[in-house]
Chain A
Amino acid sequence: MELLVIFFGAAVVNNFVLSYFLGICPFIGVSNKISSAFSMGLAATFVMVLTAIVSWLIYNLILVPYDLDFLQYVAFILVIASLVQFVEMFIKKMSRPLYRALGIFLPLITTNCAILGLALFIVLRDYSFVESVVFGVGAGAGFTLAITIMAGIREELDLADVPKAFQGAPITLIVAGILALAFMGFAGMIS
């Protein structure tokens, strides 16, 4: 039950993109087409789950016992950067089609604040190992959900007659705002 609360909390109620503003750059940058948005979401989810596992292990097994927790930001960003590199090489070897589908988005994930944010939240909220993994899966699912919905709306938006000054980023932000309002409807689900 506890785990379900964490999962839905991260996925819909406190959606990473729409209520913590993490991962806005890919959310605005890669949400032109549903297919690429979905691939980006999957790639980010994959890295998020791995980050949750590795950063929990590093923080609790290395940094805390040796009293090095002031190094956490440096450690986390290194973990994420190397993890992304590793995942890229692994996918390239294992599955060519998947690599081609995700290829360009993988390096972008390093500077996706949602990933580092995830690691920071895990430390901040003192999650146990299992909770961290569930939190990672939930956050990834939430990111995928938000970016895919956004891409769906933007595909329709291409056909709409938007005033010239609002084309591009401004209208995307306003749509995101309305989407965030809609997601607020989930707020009562978990108290």
Chain B
Amino acid sequence: MSSKLSLYKEFTKGIWEQNTTFKQILGMCPVLAVTVSAINGLAMALATTFVLVFSSIIVAIVKKLIPDQVRIAAYILIIATFVTIVDMVMKASYPDLSKSLGPYIPLIVVNCVILGRQEAFASKNTVFRSFLDAVGMGAGVLLSLILLGAVRELFGSGTIFGIQLLPDFYEPMLVMILPAGAFITLGLMMGLFNQIALSNKEKQRKKTIEKYLSTKNSINDPVGV
């Protein structure tokens, strides 16, 4: 079975419609753990996207060679290889960042987003489509990690990407950069997005009803009103 979406749609669906964090609720560990600041979120998202894109390409290339029974193990091995690459590069070029992300870089291996895309998409689609899908999903991860990181950093330390934004008299809310803040912020954000989606749907429904009523009135149907 191969997907019939247009190539453009294949890319954009991951950004919001099927956003892994807010819509699919997958791969929550890194989302919650590293978003103490926006820069951490950015680094984590780039690492995840790198692994996602390259393992999707490899899986899409070798999908015919992997026996069905051991496919999950094969995917995990491919993912683990790329994670090792990312980890080594990061340790060598950005030692500080690598230290602050700690064990969460190696934990990308068990990130359900990546394994999920291999199982649900790359193993059934062409290389190019898998590439687009992986880049789109990666962009979605990037969006949600930066969003969450920025909100937590803003309220927790008054800065975004290390730049002071809130005035000096603002007392930073310590709880926001503690683990509890991660859960609560993400919960509230998810609720907010759900609320927006719900009210949009409600508006659409009202519009359809109005349109229906106005066409009825214009015909001047005595029973319709």
Query: Measuring CB to CB, which residues of chain A are less than 8 angstroms from any residue of chain B?
Result: 18-25, 28, 70-71, 73-74, 77-78, 81, 110-113, 116-117, 120-121, 124, 163-166, 169-174, 176-178, 180-181, 184
How far apart are B199's CB and chain A's nearest CB, in angstroms? 9
Does B173 lie at the interface of the complex (its beta carbon under 8 Å from any beta carbon of A)?
Answer: no
Determine the residue in chain B with the shortest Cβ distance to A81: B73
- Hey, which chain A residues are within 8 Å of B162, CB to CB? none
Most buried by B among A23, A111, A178: A111
B28 touches which of A24, A70, A164, A166 (Cβ 8 Å): A24
Q: B198–A165 contact, CB under 8 A?
A: yes
- Hey, which chain B residues are within 8 Å of A113, CB to CB? 29, 107, 110-111
Q: Evaluate whether A170 and B188 lie within 8 angstroms (CB atoms) in the complex, with A21-B33, A73-B87, A81-B73 already known.
A: yes
The CA of A171 and the CA of B25, in the complex, are separated in Å by 13
Q: A73–B106 contact, CB under 8 A?
A: yes
A-contact bits for B75-101, CB 8 A (1 contact / 0 none): 011001101100110000000000000
- Hey, which chain B residues are within 8 Å of A124, CB to CB? 102-103
Q: B183–A120 contact, CB under 8 A?
A: no
The CA of A171 and the CA of B80, in the complex, are separated in Å by 33
Determine the residue in chain B with the shortest Cβ distance to A121: B103
Most buried by B among A28, A163, A169, A178: A169
- Hey, which chain A residues are within 8 Å of B76, CB to CB? 77, 81
Q: A24–B115 contact, CB under 8 A?
A: no
What are 23 of the A-B contact pairs (CB < 8 Å)?
A20-B179, A21-B182, A22-B29, A71-B84, A77-B77, A81-B72, A111-B110, A124-B102, A124-B103, A163-B195, A165-B191, A165-B198, A166-B194, A169-B25, A170-B187, A170-B190, A172-B187, A174-B183, A174-B188, A176-B187, A177-B184, A180-B183, A184-B180
- Hey, which chain A residues are within 8 Å of B175, CB to CB? 181
Most buried by B among A120, A166, A170: A170
The CA of A121 and the CA of B102, in the complex, are separated in Å by 10
- Hey, which chain A residues are within 8 Å of B32, CB to CB? 21, 24
Q: Evaluate whether A111 and B84 lie within 8 angstroms (CB atoms) in the complex, with A169-B25, A171-B187, A181-B180 already known.
A: no
The CA of A178 and the CA of B32, in the complex, are separated in Å by 15
Q: B84–A73 contact, CB under 8 A?
A: yes
The CA of A147 and the CA of B81, in the complex, are separated in Å by 32
Determine the residue in chain B with the shortest Cβ distance to A162: B191
Q: B190–A116 contact, CB under 8 A?
A: no
Most buried by B among A71, A171, A176: A176
Q: B25–A177 contact, CB under 8 A?
A: no
Closest CB pairs A-B (n = 4) = A177-B183, A173-B187, A177-B184, A174-B187
